[in-house]
């Protein structure tokens, strides 16, 4: 009886061990399935957040750098640690429109800064006044850059590329860029016919993006598009509108993108208040001779200079 009892107990222990082994296997499989589900769920959530622009699409650069998810108005902002120019080069892209009052004001700081390094810029501009239909921002004296140019300073080759998306009164016409500022093609839309449209649906915006995508390198256009039409401007109430939707008439605004060995930076908006120039009755002829003695312009030049070279 003793031997039989021992064998019975041994068998029961073996059966119990087999049951526990099966339970352990089930628990391990459950943990694996849970882990896989969690990872899959996280991937789906991240994908959704990227599509909703809650998480930014990578703009390149150091893996420890995250591109800001908002723009700022009137300040330089680093958007990437990547250098999208060739080694030993700096590329500056100035995107505006012919009648833009902000572009008119900013042009003086850009001109003054460039002239410090490249005197030839004087033959690549002409005087101009901004759109006369812009209220207190109307008829701002400024300069139009007629073509790209480059120069070398301290061993760095600097290339400046201007691009004008619309003509004087924000009509979109084929050819309205630096090659042909007034446009000469098919009328796309009239700003007065396109008020109060939903963000992103404006024909003016879409036309401008078409011009920009056809004239900017893809890496630069990607940055331009995101900081013009996707990310909100954080320091302009209500802090929820992207740059293209800050005014009653949605349109692409003036923006400068600088890329070199230090990374990639943007400047969106005015370097100083454009109406300052008209309130002092300055003409572009006067400013061409005296920009260096006007505090608002020299302050803007000092803001820009550290990002050039």
Give alpha helix (H) positions in the chain.
2-51, 101-117, 203-215, 218-225, 275-279, 284-290, 295-304
- pLDDT beneath 50, residues of the chain: 1-2, 42-58, 172-201
Per the rule left: phi > 0, alpha: psi between -120 and 50, beta: everything else, 262 is alpha
pLDDT of residue 6: 58
pLDDT at 246: 86
In this structure, the number of other CB atoms found within 10 A of the CB of residue 243 comes to 24
Which residues are paired to 92 by β-bridges?
A: 160, 258
**What pLDDT shows up at residue 297?**
98
Give me the sheet containing 89-96, strands edge to edge. Answer: 76-80, 263-268, 255-260, 89-96, 156-164, 149-153
- 116-139: pLDDT as tens digits: 999 999 999 999 999 888 889 999
Q: What is the pLDDT of residues 219-237, one digit of tens each?
A: 999 999 999 999 999 998 8
| pLDDT at 32 (0 to 100) | 58
pLDDT at site 177: 43
* Structure tokens that stand for 67 in this block: 């591109």
Q: What integer pLDDT is reported at residue 171 of this predicted model?
A: 53
């Amino acid at each position: 009886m003793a031997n039989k009892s021992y064998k019975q107990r041994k068998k029961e222990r073996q059966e119990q061990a087999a049951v526990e082994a099966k339970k352990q296997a089930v628990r391990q499989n459950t943990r694996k399935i849970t882990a896989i589900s969690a990872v899959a769920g996280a991937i789906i959530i991240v994908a959704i957040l990227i599509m909703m622009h809650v998480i930014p699409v990578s703009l390149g650069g150091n893996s420890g750098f995250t591109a800001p998810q908002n723009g700022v108005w009137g300040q330089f902002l680093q958007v990437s640690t990547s250098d999208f120019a060739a080694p030993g080069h700096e590329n500056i892209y100035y995107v505006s429109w012919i009648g833009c009052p902000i572009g008119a004001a900013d042009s003086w700081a850009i001109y003054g800064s460039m002239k410090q390094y490249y005197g030839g810029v004087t033959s690549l501009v002409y005087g101009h006044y901004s759109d006369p239909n812009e209220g207190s921002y109307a008829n701002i004296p400024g300069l139009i850059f007629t073509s790209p140019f480059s120069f070398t300073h301290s061993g760095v080759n600097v290339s400046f590329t201007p691009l004008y998306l619309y003509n004087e009164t924000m009509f979109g016409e084929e050819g309205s860029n630096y090659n042909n500022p007034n446009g000469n093609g098919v009328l796309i839309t009239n700003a007065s016919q396109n008020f109060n449209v939903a963000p992103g649906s404006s024909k003016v915006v879409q036309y401008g993006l078409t011009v920009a995508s056809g004239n900017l390198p893809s890496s630069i256009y990607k940055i331009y598009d995101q900081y013009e039409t996707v990310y909100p401007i954080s320091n302009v109430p209500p802090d929820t509108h992207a740059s293209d939707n800050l005014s009653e008439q949605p349109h692409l605004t003036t923006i400068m993108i600088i890329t070199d060995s230090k990374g990639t930076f943007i400047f969106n908006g005015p370097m100083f208040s454009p109406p300052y120039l008209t309130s002092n009755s300055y003409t572009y002829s006067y400013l061409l001779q005296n920009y260096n003695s006007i505090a608002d312009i020299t302050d803007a030049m000092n803001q820009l200079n550290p990002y050039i070279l």
